[in-house]
C-alpha cells in the first residue's frame, strides 16, 4: 500500500509530459498556418469540379502532416526539375502571379496506350512469278511488322547476291532487300523471304525465271553413216527461254528431196547416199537472239561393223559362237557363214527393227576356219574369217596301257563314262549332253 501513491505520481507525470508535447505540436501547426495565410492575401475556395481544387485539398492535408519537410519536397519536385517528364505541364498558380509561390506541376491527360506484343505479319512483298534477262540484276523486297521486330532471312538458288535491312522502330517494321547481281541460268527457281521472332513466324514466296537467247549445248562436228540406212543426226540440244524455234539447213546444197524429215527438232535422212555428204546446220532462234551449230556428214561404204575374234580356242565338247554384222539397208542385204573344209554350217540371219543393220550368227563345235560374208544389193561383199581350235587333251599311262584322261576346268563337268567335259550349266538341264547321259544321272541331279 505504501507504493500506491508513488505509482499515481509517476502516471500523473507521464500524462503531464504527453499533454505538454501535444500542446507544443498544436502550437507549431497554428503558427505555420498563420504564416502560410500571411503569405497570401486571399484563401482559395475549393472547386470540386476542377482538378485545382483537388490539388489544393491535397496540399492542405500534406501541410498539416507532421513530416512537413518530406511532403513539401515531394509536392514541389516537378517545379524544381522544371517538369522534365513528357506527360506533365507547368502552370502558374494564383500565388505565383503575385510573386509568392514557385511554379507547380500538374499531370496532363493520359496518352494512348503503348504497343503490346505482336506476332510477325507480312506488310508488303514484291515476290511474284518474276522474269529477268540473263546477266541482269533483280531486287526483291519484303516488309514485316511485329513486336519484337522479327529477323528476316532469305532462301534462293542464287549464288551472287546481297541482303540489306532497314528497321523502323516507330512503326515496328523491318524491310529486307534481296539483290541478285549478274543473274545466271542456274539461279532461277523459288525465292522465299522468312520472318521469325519469339512469338512466331511469317513469310512469302515467289519464283524467278531467267530469260536467255538460245544456246546450243552439244553438237558433233563430224559424223559417219553407212550408205543406204536411215540416219538420225545427233540431237540438237538447246537451252532457251522462251523456247526457240529450231530449223535445219544444208550449206551450199539443198536438202535431200523427199528423203529428209524433222522429228522433235531432229533431222533424219532416209536411204543415205554418197551425194548426201556435206555440212548441215542446226539453227535455234527466239526474240532475244539465235545460235547455230554445223555438223559434217560423211557416208561410208559397206563394211563389217562387228565380228567374232579372229581366233577362238575351245575344249572338247564345247561350242564356239561365230557372228558378224554390217550397217546398211537390211532388206537389201544378205549373207552366209561357211567352213573352209566344205562342211555345212547352220547359221541364222537377224535384221534390226530399224532396218539399218544385219547380223549373222552360227554355233560350231568342230575345228577349222569359218568365213562370215555379207553382200549388199549391188553385189558388193565384205567378209571376216574366224579360226576355231580345239584344245588338245593330256594323256596318262597306267600298267603299260595308254588311257586318255580328260582334265576339265573348274567351270566344267566331266562325263566320267565317256571321258569328256561339258559346261557345268548343262548338268541337270534335262538334255543328255554327255554321250552316256551321266550329266542327267538321278544320283547327281
State the CB neighbour count (10 A cutoff) for residue 54.
Answer: 13
Q: Which three cell numbers stand for residue 181?
A: 547481281
**What is the chain's Cα-based Rg?**
56
Q: Which three cell numbers stand for residue 403?
A: 588311257
pLDDT at 212: 94
297 phi and psi angles, rounded to 5 deg? -105, 130
Q: Which three cell numbers stand for residue 190?
A: 523459288
Contacts of 408 (CB under 8 A, 6+ apart): 315, 414, 421
Q: Which three cell numbers stand for residue 225?
A: 553413216
Q: How far is CA 190 from CA 128, 130, 210, 257, 396, in A?
A: 10, 10, 12, 48, 80
Burial classification of residue 425, based on how many CB atoms lie within 10 Å of its CB (0-12 exposed, 13-18 middle, 19 or more buried) = exposed
| H-helix segments, 48-118 | 51-64, 68-75, 77-81, 94-97
Whole-model pTM: value is 0.49
393 phi and psi angles, rounded to 5 deg? -90, 125
pLDDT at 30: 65
pLDDT at 95: 46
Contacts of 188 (CB under 8 A, 6+ apart): 157, 208, 209, 210
Delineate the domains of the chain, giving CATH numbers in brackets. 15-84 (no CATH), 118-212 (2.60.40.10), 217-295 (2.60.40.10), 303-391 (2.60.40.10), 411-444 (4.10.400.10)
Which residue in 133, 134, 151 sits closest to 142, CA to CA? 151
Contacts of 445 (CB under 8 A, 6+ apart): 427, 428
| CA pair distance 270, 259, nearest whole angstrom | 5
pLDDT at 109: 83
Query: 180-197, pLDDT tens digit by residue?
Result: 999 999 999 999 999 999
CA dihedral 348, 353, 355, 356 (to 10 degrees): -90
pLDDT at 414: 79
Mean pLDDT by 10 residues, the chain (445 residues): 69 75 73 61 44 54 49 48 47 47 66 82 93 93 95 94 94 95 93 95 95 90 87 91 93 90 88 92 93 92 84 89 87 87 88 85 91 85 89 56 61 74 76 77 74
pLDDT at 210: 95
State the CB neighbour count (10 A cutoff) for residue 283.
Answer: 19
pLDDT at 179: 96
Query: 401-445, pLDDT tens digit by residue?
Result: 444 566 777 667 778 766 778 777 777 877 777 877 778 777 777
Amino acid at each position: 500500500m505504501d507504493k500506491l501513491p508513488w505509482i499515481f505520481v509517476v502516471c500523473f507525470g507521464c500524462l503531464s509530459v504527453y499533454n505538454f508535447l501535444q500542446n507544443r505540436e498544436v502550437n507549431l501547426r497554428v503558427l505555420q498556418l498563420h504564416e502560410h495565410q500571411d503569405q497570401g492575401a486571399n484563401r482559395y475556395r475549393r472547386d470540386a469540379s476542377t482538378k485545382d481544387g483537388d490539388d489544393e485539398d491535397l496540399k492542405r492535408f500534406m501541410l498539416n502532416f507532421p513530416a512537413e519537410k518530406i511532403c513539401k519536397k515531394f509536392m514541389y519536385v516537378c517545379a524544381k526539375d522544371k517538369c522534365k517528364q513528357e506527360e506533365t505541364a507547368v502552370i502558374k498558380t494564383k500565388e505565383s502571379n503575385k510573386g509568392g509561390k514557385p511554379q507547380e506541376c500538374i499531370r496532363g491527360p493520359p496518352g494512348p496506350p503503348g504497343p503490346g506484343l505482336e506476332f510477325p505479319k507480312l506488310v508488303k512483298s514484291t515476290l511474284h512469278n518474276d522474269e529477268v534477262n540473263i546477266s541482269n540484276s533483280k531486287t526483291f523486297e519484303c516488309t514485316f511488322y511485329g513486336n519484337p521486330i522479327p529477323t528476316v532471312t532469305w532462301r534462293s538458288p542464287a549464288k551472287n547476291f546481297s541482303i540489306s535491312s532497314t528497321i523502323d522502330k516507330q512503326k515496328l517494321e523491318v524491310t529486307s532487300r534481296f539483290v541478285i547481281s549478274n543473274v545466271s541460268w542456274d539461279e532461277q527457281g523459288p525465292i522465299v523471304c522468312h520472318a521469325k521472332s519469339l512469338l512466331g513466324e511469317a513469310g512469302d514466296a515467289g519464283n524467278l525465271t531467267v530469260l536467255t537467247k538460245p544456246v546450243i549445248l552439244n553438237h558433233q562436228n563430224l559424223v559417219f553413216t553407212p550408205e543406204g540406212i536411215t540416219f538420225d543426226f545427233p540431237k540438237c540440244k538447246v537451252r532457251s527461254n522462251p523456247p526457240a524455234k529450231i530449223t535445219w539447213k544444208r550449206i551450199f546444197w539443198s536438202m535431200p528431196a523427199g528423203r529428209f524429215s524433222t522429228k522433235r527438232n531432229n533431222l533424219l535422212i532416209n536411204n543415205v547416199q554418197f551425194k548426201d555428204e556435206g555440212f548441215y546446220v542446226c539453227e535455234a532462234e527466239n526474240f532475244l537472239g539465235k545460235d547455230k551449230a554445223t555438223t559434217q556428214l560423211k557416208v561410208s561404204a559397206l563394211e563389217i561393223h562387228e565380228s567374232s575374234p579372229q581366233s577362238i580356242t575351245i575344249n572338247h565338247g564345247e561350242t564356239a559362237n561365230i557372228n558378224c554384222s554390217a550397217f546398211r539397208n537390211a532388206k537389201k542385204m544378205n549373207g552366209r557363214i561357211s567352213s573352209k573344209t566344205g562342211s555345212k554350217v547352220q547359221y541364222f540371219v537377224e535384221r534390226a527393227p530399224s532396218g539399218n543393220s544385219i547380223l549373222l550368227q552360227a554355233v560350231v563345235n568342230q575345228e577349222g576356219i569359218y568365213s562370215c560374208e555379207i553382200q549388199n544389193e549391188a553385189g558388193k561383199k565384205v567378209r571376216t574369217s574366224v579360226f576355231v581350235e580345239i584344245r588338245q587333251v593330256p594323256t596318262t599311262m597306267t600298267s603299260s596301257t595308254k588311257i586318255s584322261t580328260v582334265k576339265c576346268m573348274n567351270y566344267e563337268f566331266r562325263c566320267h563314262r565317256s571321258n569328256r567335259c561339258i559346261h557345268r550349266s548343262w548338268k541337270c538341264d534335262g538334255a543328255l549332253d554327255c554321250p552316256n547321259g551321266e550329266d542327267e544321272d538321278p544320283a547327281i541331279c
